[in-house]
Chain A
Amino acid sequence: MKNTNPIASEAIDPVVLTAIDWMVRLDNGHASADVKAGFDHWIAANDRHRQAWQEMTRALQPASQLQSAQHQSPAQLSVIREVLSAPPSPQRRRLLNGMALVFVGLGTAYLLKRSPTGMALSADITTSTAERKTVILADGSQLTLDAESSIDLHFSAGKRLLTLHSGACIVQVATDPTRPFTVATAHGSVTALGTRFMVRRQPDRSLALVLQHSVMLAAGEQQQPLSENESAWFDSKGISPEREDMHSYAAWEDGVLDVRNQSLGEVVEALRAYRKDYLRVSPAAAQLRVFGVFQLDDAERSLRTLAQALPIRITHYGPWLTLIDSR
């Protein structure tokens, strides 16, 4: 194997993609007799079809094993689900941050981009992929949500509490001296002191950026006021003030991704909330530095612009997968 382009070996066999299509069609819970007949026909048509199907089935073996274990003792299901639903702890994940080398070294070239968002299950207000939304709340405050965001509202006589589960929001707070206005994430809380500010929740930490006046930031044991134009990262351990101008992090409000010397990996992460397909970026390409302003609402054009400016190649596999690798 040559080292020049390990990515070329990663090209996905179209027969496997077809096998996946069939699996999803058969799996949906009420596949019609026609679909089943179509599948029988497909798999009998060619040895390679049968082989790809077996490869898929083999890949999924651990899941089948767990399903049959659960038939023997049904109460196991809830236990297994609980265990598997918990993501790896952050310090374990961090160990994998330098992993690009392994994948390149072994000739398996793509790192999977993880979604920055959490679950959007019970949230009061959510936005879907490529959707931004502005709402006026009961107290007259204005709330703007970025794509793939979800937020819960708890308004009572004594408080106005917004819980941001995923994505980002910008709030323009209506004055009400009797009821403090707070945006909380799993990492801490930001309380308005008459103001406009942004909160973005990332998997391992959150960002607060004050656009007007000031806020009180609380995380872990720490508490700290932030004034206009100031920003800070926070998590359950505490607060780390950010010295850089972070206004570009609020540019999504205008439908713009404003990038100043970030890695392509980070840019792709930001674009994911605006694309329905699965973006995979090769480790080599993820490290390229990017400068520029991109239109979020035309993420396809943004990708093309990136491809013109950077030594990358973009390949679409149907409507649900896009690969980015270095040329």
Chain B
Amino acid sequence: MRMSAQHYAVVHALYRDHHGWLSHWLRNKLGCTQQAADLAQNTFIRVLQSRQLMQLQEPRAFLTVLAKRELYTFWRRRELEQAYLEALAQQPQANQPSPEDMLLIREAIAALDQLLNGLPPKIRQAFLLSRLDGLTHVQIADSMGKSVATIERYMKQALLHCYLAAR
């Protein structure tokens, strides 16, 4: 990441003037000082990466929006972890992955979920059937009661969505 001295000065001023306020705001949402501190830190990492700081007029509104995104990611991740552990608990002992695999899988689930965030459910389903289950487009079309042309359109939309989300 390229960062000019001016950009750095703006971030520094933001941090100095609003970090305490933001941590407090997050603590009210989370009820936990430690997590609030982590998310405040993540929020400022986002601030560093943002490219339009020079025009900033409402710093706290800007910070709140970035922090909400962090909060969403945090809660969604916890929701996914819980769902994963519950689903795993339904499986027999023989099917449990090793702790290393489990960690990788949890990370990848969170990453893929974030990538697919906002995709319409049908398109999400078609994408998962193709990329996870490895079904052919004809098989997906059959299982979803759609034409192959529709599935291919879904796939293109999903791929573009992932491309834009990953940038």
Name A's B-contacting residues (CB within 8 A): 1, 3, 6, 12, 16-17, 20-21, 23-24, 27-30, 55-56, 58-67, 69-70, 72-73, 75-89, 92, 95-96, 98-99, 101-102, 105-108, 110-112, 114-115, 117-121, 126, 276-278, 320-321
Contact = CB atoms under 8 A, between A and B. Distances in A.
A317 B65 CA distance: 30
A75 B150 CA distance: 30
A61 B125 CA distance: 18
Contact of A16 (B125, B150, B155, B163): B163
B132 to A, nearest CB: 6
Given A24-B156, A75-B91, A76-B105, A101 B65 contact: yes
A24 B69 contact: no
B68 interface: yes
B113 A24 contact: no
Given A88-B117, A101-B62, A79 B153 contact: no
Contacts of B145: 120-121, 126
18 contacts: A12-B160, A27-B130, A55-B166, A56-B163, A67-B131, A70-B132, A76-B101, A80-B105, A80-B132, A83-B84, A85-B124, A95-B68, A96-B68, A99-B68, A102-B65, A105-B65, A108-B167, A115-B122
A83 B80 contact: yes
Given A92-B72, A117-B120, A118-B121, 17 more contacts: A17-B160, A28-B136, A59-B165, A62-B109, A63-B112, A69-B101, A70-B132, A72-B101, A80-B84, A83-B80, A83-B83, A85-B124, A96-B72, A102-B66, A106-B50, A277-B153, A321-B157
Contacts of B123: 115
Contacts of A83: 80, 83-84, 87, 109
A78 B162 CA distance: 22
B161 to A, nearest CB: 7
Nearest to B92: A75
Nearest to A3: B55
Given A56-B159, A107-B52, A69 B125 contact: no
Specify which of B62, B112, B127, B131 lies most central, judged by the most chain A CB atoms within 10 Å of its CB: B112
A117 B122 contact: yes
Interface size on B, as a range, is: 35 or more
A4 to B, nearest CB: 10
Given A24-B156, A28-B136, A84-B112, A105 B119 contact: no
Contacts of B125: 85, 119
Interface string B80-93: 10011001100100
B116 interface: yes
Nearest to A69: B105
Contacts of B116: 84
